[in-house]
């Protein structure tokens, strides 16, 4: 019985998430609203891009991330914090790695949520709950529970998960990364300059962003 206890717990989490989780998560999200409303835009090429912060921000962070990547999970909240603190622009690109079983499914779940204007809400849940779903034998069921937590239309969410355009968007992000030399995650560009691995620790990354913000300030 002890062997199956973790899977029973995961099942209970999925069952309860749609009901009690929605209210609690919504309260937390409202309390942590970023400086500018999250957006899903279309680039001049016609490709979708998910951004936080003002388009005219002097500092832009572009992340190529994998939702099942532990270092990406550790950086998720620090990126949220510096975005709100400095009102910088953040761009997220999907770059699921083949050695992570559920990474592409998670990316598709985020893109499906984005079709209802809630990419960033799903982004935050996936990273916050990474330790749970990444160990699950049925992560897609948990993704549907998370969709309920952030109050998505579940029927539309399920339809979008199977939409070839959603899967194509994930592939497009991945192809963009490969084209500019991305090989692993997290890979982050700060004002189009690759952030070296030693600066991808949360504290060091925050310092790098602060330095970029100070450098961008006009001389007094």
> Checking DSSP bridges between strand 48-52 and strand 39-42, what pairing results, if any?
antiparallel
Q: Read off the pLDDT of residues 161-177 as tens digits, 9 standing for 90 and up.
A: 999 999 999 999 999 99
Average pLDDT of the chain to the nearest whole number: 85
Residue 30 neighbours by CB under 8 Å, 6+ apart: none
**Terminal CA-CA length for the chain:** 68
**How many domains are there within the chain?**
1
- pLDDT reported for residue 59: 97
Count CB atoms within 10 A of the CB of residue 118: 22
Domain that holds residue 161: 2-216
What band does 220 get if pLDDT is binned at 50, 70 and 90?
low
Task: Judge whether residue 143 has pLDDT over 60.
Answer: yes
Task: Judge whether residue 24 has pLDDT over 60.
Answer: no
- pLDDT reported for residue 219: 73
Looking at 39-125, which runs of residues are DSSP E strands? Answer: 39-42, 48-52, 60-65, 89-94
- pLDDT reported for residue 18: 44
Task: Judge whether residue 27 has pLDDT over 90.
Answer: no
- pLDDT reported for residue 121: 98
CATH code for position 209: 3.40.30.10
């Amino acid at each position: 019985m002890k062997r199956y206890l973790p899977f029973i717990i995961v099942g209970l989490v999925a069952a309860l998430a749609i009901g009690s989780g929605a209210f609690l998560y919504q309260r937390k999200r409202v309390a942590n609203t970023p400086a500018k409303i999250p957006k899903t835009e279309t680039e001049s090429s016609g490709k979708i891009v998910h951004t936080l912060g003002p388009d005219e921000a002097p500092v832009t962070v572009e992340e190529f991330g994998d939702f099942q990547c532990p270092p990406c999970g550790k950086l998720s909240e620090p990126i949220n914090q510096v975005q709100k603190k400095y009102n910088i622009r953040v761009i997220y690109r999907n770059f699921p790695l083949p050695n992570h079983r559920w990474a592409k499914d998670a990316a598709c779940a985020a893109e499906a949520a984005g079709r209802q204007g809630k990419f960033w809400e799903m982004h935050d849940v996936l990273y916050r709950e990474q330790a749970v779903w990444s160990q699950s034998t049925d992560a897609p069921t948990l993704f549907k529970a998370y969709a309920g937590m952030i109050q998505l239309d579940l029927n539309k969410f399920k339809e979008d998960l199977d939409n070839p355009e959603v899967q194509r968007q994930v592939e497009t992000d991945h192809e963009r990364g490969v084209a500019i030399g991305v090989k692993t995650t997290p890979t982050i560009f700060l004002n189009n300059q690759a952030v070296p691995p030693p600066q991808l620790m949360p504290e060091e990354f925050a310092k790098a962003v602060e330095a970029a913000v100070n450098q961008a300030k006009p001389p007094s």
